Amino acid sequence: MRTVAGDLGDALARVLRTEQQPPLVVAGRTDAGVHARGQVVHLDVDPQAFAGLAGRSGVDPVDSLVRRLAGVLAPDVVVRRARVVPAVFDARFSATGRRYRYRLGDGPHRPDPLERRHVHWVRDRLDAEAMARSAQLLLGEHDFVAFCRPRPGSSTVRTLRLVDVQRGSDDTVRVDLEADAFCHHQVRALVGALLEVGRRRRDEGWPAQVLAARRRDGAVQVAPAHGLTLTEVVYPPDDQLGAQAERARRRREAPA
Amino acid sequence: MRTVAGDLGDALARVLRTEQQPPLVVAGRTDAGVHARGQVVHLDVDPQAFAGLAGRSGVDPVDSLVRRLAGVLAPDVVVRRARVVPAVFDARFSATGRRYRYRLGDGPHRPDPLERRHVHWVRDRLDAEAMARSAQLLLGEHDFVAFCRPRPGSSTVRTLRLVDVQRGSDDTVRVDLEADAFCHHQVRALVGALLEVGRRRRDEGWPAQVLAARRRDGAVQVAPAHGLTLTEVVYPPDDQLGAQAERARRRREAPA
């Protein structure tokens, strides 16, 4: 099966001329079908291979890396930027936040065909204001186990900092979410719960009740993957990257 | 081969319960691979079939048509709106203008993967200001035969009202064009000529020289279909639809 990590590893091996794919550490693993516009990945590069990127022309090796990857990667995997980071940087554990956008279409017809692969169409008109109010009750630090597919040995306590529900033009509603990190399926399950409110099948307090009950509720439908995009990963200033990585490692690996 | 017209005809036959696909008249035929967000099509509907759309529920037959088509069409063909038009309306000949957008990406990496199917990536940084100045020299009524794949018995005289070249954020350049109508390949050939200017391979006056020469120039590369979208078809007020259709028919069918 083709994966973004597999494609990127292959491309890096070609561009860096290494025999094996370099090990990659990714900021936020995404389910199959979820898009990632703002994904971040780190890897260790042999200094000689790095110097080799510049060639004899003396261009910046990092610019050269981005250009060469563009020539090797398929059109659906794009490396936008690269930079040299402090050795303590960890793409996953140094991050202080992840931001996702879920795109919904709720018109009488399907979404714009040019956007059909990243907008989930619901046939019912959504009450975006009710969804927005309902979402506010979920903010803060909680055990989100009711919305997570738990992984053994991992905490499901997360801090949800933002859930912003906005109606856009042309029968679209977008949900922006930010947390320190999200557990598996959490964003899609949260959106699924809010959709029940938007469709007026449940009242505004229901998602918070599910959260408080701390166990999975069959009535929460995980929203389809294709509507979801990882839009941004947030990092602290360089001098706090190491300390943040330490903190996150301790917290995230605490027993559930 | 699957076509938008074929899909739409099939869906209309199902929804209107007719044995055969109803004949469709389309505002602007587009080459394979060109997108159309603002396409317009007209058809004659049997009054009984039209009344049948409302069913016993008394909903507006036009709303019912849009909803039923949404249930039948594939996700890449969307009917946004329908309306009853005066009998003199002709989707093709009543139109007073067509508007297209061509999307270009000129960054060091490929365009955003979510937009890769409607943005054409050129590897050279474009001089969008030079393209904009060059485009101004093409405005007005001209014989665009140098940019057209001629059709026998059809005029290639068109009135180009707008060519707007704008640099967007994130390494994108868009070209908006409007004319009374475009001949076959005209938009893509015009963009292809402007690209030569944007890449500094030709000077700003070159596209106008090609136009004035009134014959096809091998140096004009037709830009790829996937970057182009028909965004809007412009119609006059209802009381001028018939007269406009008459005028356009006479003009368009004048010998070249």
pLDDT in tens, B51-98: 888 877 778 999 999 999 999 999 899 999 999 999 999 999 999 999
| Cα B101-B35-B161 angle, rounded to 5 deg | 30
Higher-scoring residue by pLDDT: A250, A190 = A190
In angstroms and rounded to an integer, the radius of gyration of the C-alpha atoms of chain B is: 20
To the nearest whole Å, the CA of A141 is away from the closest chain B CA by 32
Cα–Cα separations (whole angstroms), residue B23 to A49, B42, B77:
63, 9, 18
Q: What is the pLDDT of residue B254?
A: 63
Residue of B nearest to A62 (CA): B108
Residue of B nearest to A80 (CA): B109
Ranges of H-type helices in chain A: 4-16, 47-54, 61-72, 128-136, 186-198, 206-213, 241-252
Distance separating alpha carbons of residues B238 and A235, to the nearest angstrom:
57
What's the rounded mean pLDDT across residues A151-169?
A: 92
Domains and CATH numbers, chain B: 4-32+41-72 (no CATH), 97-236+247-251 (3.30.70.660)
pLDDT band at A52 (very low <50, low <70, confident <90, very high): confident
B78–A112 CB contact, under 8 Å? yes
Q: What is the pLDDT of residue A256?
A: 47
What's the rounded mean pLDDT across residues A128-157?
A: 93
Chain A interface includes B111 (CB < 8 A):
yes
For B:218-247, CB contacts with A below 8 A are 229
A239 by DSSP, 3-state: which? helix
Chain A hits for B76, CB-CB cut-off 8 Å, are 113, 116
ipTM, two decimals, is 0.80
Catalytic residue among B31, B46, B124, B203: B31
Cβ-proximal residues to A238 (8 Å cutoff; 6+ apart), any chain: A85, A86, A89
Chain A hits for B112, CB-CB cut-off 8 Å, are 37, 78
A114–B37 CB contact, under 8 Å? yes
Chain A interface includes B37 (CB < 8 A):
yes
Residue to test with chain A: of B62, B109, B125, most A Cβ within 10 A: B109
Q: What is the pLDDT of residue B146?
A: 96
Closest by Cα among A42, A117, A120 to A86: A42
Q: What is the pLDDT of residue A168?
A: 93
A35–B113 CB contact, under 8 Å? yes
Cα–Cα separations (whole angstroms), residue B120 to B137, B187, B255:
24, 14, 35
To the nearest whole Å, the CA of B152 is away from the closest chain A CA by 34
Distance separating alpha carbons of residues B179 and B187, to the nearest angstrom:
10
A229–B73 CB contact, under 8 Å? no
Distance separating alpha carbons of residues B143 and A97, to the nearest angstrom:
58
pLDDT at A255 over 60: no
Helix axes B61-72, B4-16, angle to 10 degrees: 120
Residues above pLDDT 70, as percent of chain A: 98
Q: What is the pLDDT of residue B31?
A: 85
Instruction: Read off the tokens for B157.
Output: 């005289």
To the nearest whole Å, the CA of A225 is away from the closest chain B CA by 14
Distance separating alpha carbons of residues A134 and A144, to the nearest angstrom:
16
Distance separating alpha carbons of residues B30 and A22, to the nearest angstrom:
45
To the nearest whole Å, the CA of B76 is away from the closest chain A CA by 5
B66–A109 CB contact, under 8 Å? yes
A76–B37 CB contact, under 8 Å? no
To the nearest whole Å, the CA of B69 is away from the closest chain A CA by 8
A114–B116 CB contact, under 8 Å? no
B168 by DSSP, 3-state: which? coil
pLDDT averages per 10-residue partition of chain B, 256 residues = 92 93 90 92 92 82 92 93 93 95 93 92 94 98 93 89 94 96 94 98 97 92 96 94 89 64
What's the rounded mean pLDDT across residues A113-129?
A: 93
Residue to test with chain B: of A109, A117, A119, most B Cβ within 10 A: A109
A109–B78 CB contact, under 8 Å? yes
A78–B113 CB contact, under 8 Å? yes
